[in-house]
Amino acid sequence: MKRREHISAIMTRDVLTIDVNQSLHEVNEILAKNHIRHLPVVSGEELVGIISQTDILRISFGNTFGAGQEDADEAIFDMLSINQVMKHEPMIIGQNQTIREAAQIFTEQEFHALPVLDGDKIVGIVTTTDIIKYFLEAY
């Protein structure tokens, strides 16, 4: 295990994003279809937020009341926008910062994904799962 290995060594490079003007229905579909838990939110090329599966579950009734509540979820998704649900101004990490720095951020914060930027451009995403896998491979 290298002590100063860059986050770019473990980040997901083909990061999916969602436009702030798309719907929560689309967020839910993308998360489910791609088996992911976090989506950076963009306006054009600019990162404006991040939305997670947890954010969607927080506004969803289906998991609270069981089957048959899909219509309630659909109604809520129609009433709210991504902008109202996402985390604004998410913490980010640069592609040349270290895996250790990312791990330190995760231990101090209450979230599980960091968009990875090169300047202002999103070039990846790193999650707590990526960090755990990295450390597991080292041992």
Q: Tell me the per-residue pLDDT of 8-64, one tens digit each, with 9 for 90 and over.
A: 999 999 999 999 999 999 999 999 999 999 999 999 999 999 999 999 999 986 555
The domain ranges of the chain are 7-138
Instruction: Report whether pLDDT(113) > 70.
Output: yes
Residue type for position 69: Q
Give 103-137 as a DSSP string. HHHHHHSS-SEEEEEETTEEEEEEEHHHHHHHHHH
Residue-level pLDDT at 31: 97
pLDDT digit string (tens) for 55-95? 999 998 655 555 555 566 788 999 999 999 999 999 999 99
Per CATH, the homologous superfamily of domain 7-138 is CBS-domain (3.10.580.10)
